[in-house]
Amino acid sequence: MAILPILKYPDPRLRQVAQPIAEIDDEIRRLIDDMAETMYAAAGCGLAATQVGVDKRLFLVDIAREDEPSNLMVFINAEIVELSGSQKWEEGCLSFPGATEEIRRAERIRVRALDQHGKPFELEATGLLAVAIQHENDHLNGVLMIDKLSALKRRLVSRKVARQSEEQAV
């Protein structure tokens, strides 16, 4: 396993629309392992393949708290088939280091996907799990959390991320 570099905003590759995965082979399984190691090393609760520069419809989510056992969920070729209600959640993103913003998303979702073994599943989610799935699925469509903000907040977040990048470069 390997820790992969996470793309940071405004890298244009974050805007790519990911391609469906035709076959779950050793390469995809290795990518899942590497993405999991990367996500945990970065202390994230979700990671999309596009965030590590891979143009595949794959994302991982693990919303377990630090005092709970890991609950890694793999979503391949996910499709959100139902959205209802509305909630606001303070979101962060590994591609926007240091930035968190309140984002409005659906309160309840239903998603269909394949797991890491290629087995289809359907899941209903609420709360943080619903938020994380929507956030990561957006990444696969080239949509970033910054796109959900007002123009003013977008500028403020862009500046904050730029400052953070400059500080890390020093």
Domain ranges of the chain: 12-169
91 in active site: no
DSSP code of residue 58: E
Distance from C-alpha of 37 to C-alpha of 143, rounded to nearest angstrom: 24
| CA dist., res. 154 & res. 147, Å (int) | 7
pLDDT in tens, 79-134: 999 999 999 999 999 999 888 999 999 999 999 999 999 999 999 999 999 999 99
Q: Which has more confidence, 53 or 164?
A: 53
- The one catalytic residue among 23, 91, 136, 166: 136
pLDDT score recorded for residue 128: 96
* Ramachandran class of 43: left when φ > 0, alpha when ψ lies in -120 to 50, beta otherwise: left
Local confidence band at 154 (pLDDT 50, 70, 90 cut-offs) = confident
Task: Write the class of the CATH domain 12-169.
Answer: alpha beta
Beta-strand relationship, 87-92 and 58-61? unpaired
CB 50 within 8 A of CB 5: no
- pLDDT tens readout for residues 25-62: 999 999 999 999 999 999 999 999 999 999 999 999 99
Q: Which residue has the tokens 């940071």?
A: 8
Strands (E), the chain: 46-48, 58-61, 73-84, 87-92, 100-105, 108-114, 120-126
pTM, rounded to two decimals = 0.94
